[in-house]
Homo-oligomer: A and B are copies of this chain.
């Protein structure tokens, strides 16, 4: 069984990393606590006049590489790997690729080990990737193909309005995937 695992919001704590940097850089400015996030893209929860400052956070060198792991993610990945699942890290880069793309590789090397680097797939269109399951926090995943994989929605405050999709997190993956 091949399982595609998304990176931001599933393995790497994009939300936590963003908010920490945002509060650090703009301590007196508006912010959205993580539990109150409602849109998939952070900027959509912020007023228009702050969009450029929001983007500046994740356009900063080191942002992606220094993201903390999502709680339970590293242990979950090790356990899935140990259980014999063929894991692939399947991630879409931001358009500003210069730091984001190599730092995603560095993140995987640092947090999952050098052997996991060969499991990285960088693509904007995840429907073009083969696999049995995709674990992803984004509800609407579209592309050129009807997906081969079954999408398990990784639970997050900004996707809780979505109904009718099977939901997963790092405490429940065994119940969904077994054994």
Q: Which residues of A contact B (CB under 8 A)?
A: 2, 86, 88, 95, 97-99, 101-102, 105-106, 117-125, 127-131, 144-145, 148
Contacts and interface: CB of A to CB of B under 8 A. Distances in A.
A79 B127 CA distance: 25
A106 B99 CA distance: 12
Complex copy number for this chain: 2
Given A2-B144, A128-B88, A128-B130, A97 B117 contact: yes
A145 B130 contact: yes
A133 to B, nearest CB: 13
B124 A122 contact: no
A98 B131 CA distance: 27
Contacts of A131: 128
